[in-house]
Amino acid sequence: MSERYDAAIIGTGPAGLSAAITLKIRNKKILLLGSKELSPKIEKAHEINNYLGIPAVKGSDLGQRFMEHLKQMEIEITEDQITTVYAMGEYFSLQSKTNEMYEADSVIIASGVNFGKLYEGEEKFLGRGVSYCATCDAPLYKGKTAVVIGQTPKEEEEAQFLSEVAEKVYYVPLYKEETHLSDAVELVADIPVSIEGTMKADRLVLKERTIEADGFFILRESVSPAQLVPGLAMDGNHIAVNRKMETNIKGCFACGDIVGLPYQYIKSAGEGNIAALSAVSYLDGKKKEK
């Protein structure tokens, strides 16, 4: 049986870290999922002047203070990317890019807004030829043709893994860095436009060519929240929440940039605190019901 956490927090920016710290103070068993490098936005920030109590701080220095706080609180970061969150009624089941399954009584989404614009046909064919995890679905493409669209060099590993199973793999990098792939993967220097098909996806239309394939893997740093949590109510490209950071799904909360403007570090940290306190109330309420 999988270990059951009180709360799973998706994202290691100011919102997710703030939520994790508040939940730990309230003696909740937490799972913090994200990158040990925290948020790229913070790391690249030249100077932050509106974070209360820490004037004129470099982003890298603020990130270091965040890490020191986590260490002091004995909070570990699990480096794994969640691809789907399933509401199971009494708990949530989280599937990751490494094909791990986690369980939690509540979920806080603080994954930021770097998921990018969906391609035409992407949402239509999701689960019907379109996937967000090559390592998860690779066995389905044994002896078949697949296309991998990678947002960062980290995605090359998944394309390489897929090439060991599929008969043919095309890789479309959306970055300028040099690629490091074996001859088993064909590099495609082009821009994706849309994914097309009838009952299932069967071709990727790019600016200069069209590739026919059996499967299409779109690998981004994070998944669009509408695809991450089936049934989640959206407000444009953001997750719809109330003042308590509650979503339309009971036990699921969201905070930070993912819930809307303004995109400010201090605003995200405050919302992370609110989401955590709301999760505490939800969890304590569940205990009383039992």
CA–CA separation, 69 and 82 (whole Å): 24
Do 4-115+223-289 and 130-219 have matching folds?
A: yes
Cβ(123)–Cβ(227) below 8 Å: yes
State mean pLDDT over 64-72. Answer: 96
pLDDT of residue 23: 98
- Confidence category of residue 114, pLDDT binned at 50, 70, 90: low
CATH 3.50.50.60 at 130-219, yes or no? yes
Q: What percent of the chain is predicted at pLDDT more than 70?
A: 97
- What is the full DSSP assignment across 180-232? ---TTEEE--S-EEEEEESSSEEEEEESS-EEE-SEEEEE-SS--HHHHSTT-
Domain boundaries, the chain: 4-115+223-289, 130-219
State mean pLDDT over 94-105. Answer: 91
| pLDDT(280) > 90 | yes
Per CATH, the number for 4-115+223-289 is 3.50.50.60
Give the mean pLDDT of the chain: 91
| pLDDT(64) > 60 | yes
3-state secondary structure (DSSP) of residue 174:
coil
